[in-house]
Structure 1
Amino acid sequence: MSYAIVGFGKIGQALAHAFARKNIDVIVASRRPPENLAPQARAIGPTIVARSLREALEADTIILAVPFGEHRDVAKALPSWKGKTVIDAMNAFPAPPEELDGLPSSAFVAKSFAGARFVKGFNHLIAATLAADPVVAGGHRVVFLSSDDEDAIAPVADLAKQLGFAPVKLGKLNEGGALVHAHERTWGQLIFQDLFKKEQ
């Protein structure tokens, strides 16, 4: 399984730290040329490699960490998303609700990635918390996962476990996904909740 993080701002870098901590290879890409990202990527760890967006999208699993308004540009970069897993780590602010067709942000984003296995995840924690070691106090920091495709959640849950997190499935995007949905002045009840799951 190959991985890429598209977007190398605070959340993208936080996720890169999580991959580096476990020595898992991941490509990072953004609107900036890869040579501009390379020094930061190297500073995070040797398994973090900056590449072009085109190269990043060759990965099996792609984590979206771009500003919300840029997701359509990423979606247009591939003619087909069939066979890809896309993890939406974005939040929709400052997009007003009317721009989302009345849908939860991830359900709206999923329309642009037709054919992909689409999962909402890794979006409810602030970057500093997401970047920190998730193994704390005899347990693992929780990340919430939602998808309209039940089969899509299992490999993303496996990735979360590899990274040291405790994945918690919330159900479909318009059900549990709404609990971690943030846009304009509407905040899901689980946004910024830093929860831990004790080891059994």
Structure 2
Amino acid sequence: MSIGIIGSGALGSNLARALARKGISATISNSRGPESLASLIQEFGPSIKAGTVQEAAGADIVIAAIRWTDVEKVFSRLPAWNGRIVVDATNPVEFLDPNSADAKDPSNPLAAYGIKAVDLGDKQSSEVFSQFVPGARVVKAFNHNDVAALSNPDVAGGRHVLFYSGDDAAAKAEVRKLIEGTGFFPVDLGSLEVGGRLATLPFGALAAHNFIKI
């Protein structure tokens, strides 16, 4: 299956590195265009190519590696998904300007980390995300840990654990293969309603825990 990555920040670039280490082909994109990715592509090697957002979005498996605040703007402009797989690697947080009042808000327990949680009411984030990719089969993955964990699957004599969840068994099986193919240890958390809540930053019970399979 072809793979597209939308977003070339810390998450998108580290995902591309993880794929490149195993020689897995993918197209990475950002809002600035393929030319802005020239130095990264040189680093990644021949298995990763730069493309437009539209080109990356045409893959069989598309990974959303962008900030939550950009999700609607980016994905609402893309064509029909027609049953293709979209991996929701986002987390419902807003990054704060360090000089803003929000960054100094004593009522925000995450202010020290430069973020604040986005209020989604009683919805889990992939439920909201799915509204912007109608017709896609959404799987939640690659979001629950620090992106640095993607730099190397092997650690302390074992492998980093990556959680995934979703409501479509076939889509989950493809994402599991992708996780295994990059050398990580996949753990299925069940449906989006259950697994999404457990593994979504900042307040998911399993979020930010660096589990290792020995």
TM-score, reference length from structure 2: 0.85
2:14 counterpart residue number: 14
The unaligned stretches of length 5 or more in structure 1 are: none
Instruction: Give 3-state SS (helix, strand or coil) of 1:175's partner.
Output: helix
2:167 counterpart residue number: 148
1:113 counterpart residue number: 133
2:71 counterpart residue number: 71
1:60 counterpart residue number: 60
**Cα pair 2:149 2:160 within 8 Å, conserved:** no
Percentage of matched positions with identical amino acids: 41
Instruction: Give 3-state SS (helix, strand or coil) of 1:112's partner.
Output: coil
1:193 and 2:213 correspond: no
**Cα pair 1:140 1:164 within 8 Å, conserved:** yes
Detail structure 1 runs of 4+ shifted over 3 Å in the superposition.
none
The one-letter amino acid of 2:130's match is: A
1:165 and 2:184 correspond: yes
CA RMSD of aligned residues (A): 1.4
The unaligned stretches of length 5 or more in structure 2 are: 95-116
Instruction: Give 3-state SS (helix, strand or coil) of 1:70's partner.
Output: helix
Residue correspondences, number? 192
Post-superposition offset of 1:120: 0.4
Measure, in 2, the Cα distance between the counterparts of 1:30 and 1:65.
Answer: 10
Q: Which has the larger radius of gyration?
A: 2
Measure, in 2, the Cα distance between the counterparts of 1:35 and 1:7.
Answer: 14
Deviation per CA, 1:147-188, whole angstroms, max 9, x where unpaired?
1222321100011000001110001112121111225xxx11
TM-score, reference length from structure 1: 0.90
The one-letter amino acid of 1:169's match is: D
